[in-house]
């Protein structure tokens, strides 16, 4: 019985690795310029710069929300945006930045070793975007709901302290509207099943529903055509601390969450979100 269970676990972990490689957008997006330009037009996409972030510092950019497939992150950081969009891309808006993408779903390897290697490059201006919520946040993605998996995500905060990298919040308005979750007959039971799979195996592909390429009434895998914009906030200056205490990590985490909330509140009404709608952090 135990061997059968372990076999199933190994099989599911293997499936997770296949999925992760299947949605590794970074190298693909940077070489398929025409497709990324089409995506930008399809979503009327643009990057909104709210503050100057000079290339004499390194940055960890928190990407929120994850959404079903990280479209905002893909078009802002993972694609060669400066060359494929009619509007200014990330490396045109932030001169001197060397951009990197990291997510639990394959667009870069989110290990401490790799992140440390990036941030310790001799040349400054390293800007690594981290999709903090991961797949836990992906299965929470719902149109009209603004929920983030962030309360217990403090690894990137500690890394910012140990490497002296400034923290920058980024919010993708419209990300959660690109796909609808598959709810089924009993949505609560389905959500519980997904949560159980995440807890047991560390992986659960989001069940998503978009438009049908053929116009079929039950939908398909083409994302809904909505306005999608990535708003990049001001940086939190972080002083290098070799061995940060838990109190220092918690304080900086709280400051980051507040900065992200302020960014959301300041810009939400520009994207049809009610003024009384709150950003919920789990």
Q: At 98, which helix (H) or strand (E)? A: strand 98-103
Please give the residue that has the higher pLDDT: either 141 or 206: 141
pLDDT of 136 reads: 81
Average of pLDDT values for 39-60? Answer: 94
Please give the residue that has the higher pLDDT: either 27 or 258: 258
Tell me which residue of 85, 92, 77 sits closest to 42, measured CA to CA. 85
Compute the distance between CA of residue 78 and CA of residue 81 in angstroms, rounded to an integer: 8
CB 176 within 8 A of CB 226: no
Average of pLDDT values for 146-160? Answer: 95
Q: Classify 160 as helix, strand or coil.
A: helix
Tell me which residue of 198, 171, 182, 180 sits closest to 104, measured CA to CA. 198
Compute the distance between CA of residue 253 and CA of residue 169 in angstroms, rounded to an integer: 12
Q: What percent of the chain has pLDDT over 90?
A: 51
pLDDT digits over 167-185, tens only?
Answer: 999 999 999 999 988 765 5
Please give the residue that has the higher pLDDT: either 39 or 253: 253
Q: Hey, how many other C-beta atoms are within 10 angstroms of the C-beta on 225?
A: 13
Compute the distance between CA of residue 118 and CA of residue 53 in angstroms, rounded to an integer: 18
Residue 105 has pLDDT above 60, yes or no: no
Residue 107 has pLDDT above 50, yes or no: no
Write down the mean pLDDT value for the chain: 82
CB 141 within 8 A of CB 206: yes
Q: How many helices (H) and strands (E) does the chain have?
A: 11, 10
Residue 15 has pLDDT above 60, yes or no: no
What are the two backbone dihedrals, phi and then psi, of residue 27, each rounded to the nearest 5 degrees? -65, -40
Average of pLDDT values for 228-241? Answer: 97
Q: Classify 106 as helix, strand or coil.
A: coil
Average of pLDDT values for 30-47? Answer: 78
For the ranges 18-27, 63-72, 200-209, 211-220, which has the lowest average pLDDT? 18-27
pLDDT of 138 reads: 83
SS3 content of the chain, % helix, strand, coil (to 5): 40, 15, 40
Tokens of 259: 């900065």
Residue 125 has pLDDT above 90, yes or no: yes
Residue 216 has pLDDT above 70, yes or no: yes
Residue 266 has pLDDT above 90, yes or no: yes
Distances (CA, A) of 193 to 95, 139, 204, 206: 45, 11, 9, 12
């Amino acid at each position: 019985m135990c061997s059968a269970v372990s076999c199933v676990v190994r099989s599911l972990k293997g499936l997770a690795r296949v999925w992760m490689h299947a949605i590794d957008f970074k190298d693909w997006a940077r070489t398929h310029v025409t497709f990324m330009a089409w995506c930008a037009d399809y979503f009327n996409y643009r990057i909104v710069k709210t503050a100057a972030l000079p290339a004499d510092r390194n940055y960890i950019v928190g990407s929120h929300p994850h959404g079903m497939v990280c479209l905002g992150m893909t078009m802002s950081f993972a694609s060669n945006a400066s060359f494929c969009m009619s509007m200014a891309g990330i490396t045109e808006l932030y001169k001197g930045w060397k951009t990197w993408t990291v997510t639990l779903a394959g667009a870069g390897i989110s290990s401490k070793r790799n992140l440390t290697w990036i941030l310790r490059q001799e040349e400054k201006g390293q800007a690594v975007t981290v999709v903090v919520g991961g797949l836990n946040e992906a299965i929470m993605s719902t149109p009209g709901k603004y929920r983030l998996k962030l309360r217990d995500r403090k690894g990137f905060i500690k890394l910012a302290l140990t490497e002296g990298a400034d923290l920058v919040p980024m919010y993708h308005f419209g990300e959660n509207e690109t796909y609808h979750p598959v709810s089924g007959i009993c949505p609560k039971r389905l959500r519980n099943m997904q949560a159980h799979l995440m807890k047991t195996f560390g992986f659960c592909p989001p069940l998503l529903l978009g438009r049908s390429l053929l116009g079929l009434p039950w939908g398909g895998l083409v994302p809904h055509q909505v306005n999608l914009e990535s708003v990049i906030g001001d940086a939190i200056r972080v002083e290098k601390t070799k061995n940060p205490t838990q109190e220092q990590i918690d304080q900086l985490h709280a400051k980051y969450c507040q900065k992200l909330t302020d960014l959301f509140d300041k810009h939400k009404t520009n994207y049809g979100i009610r003024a009384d709608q709150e950003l919920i952090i789990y």
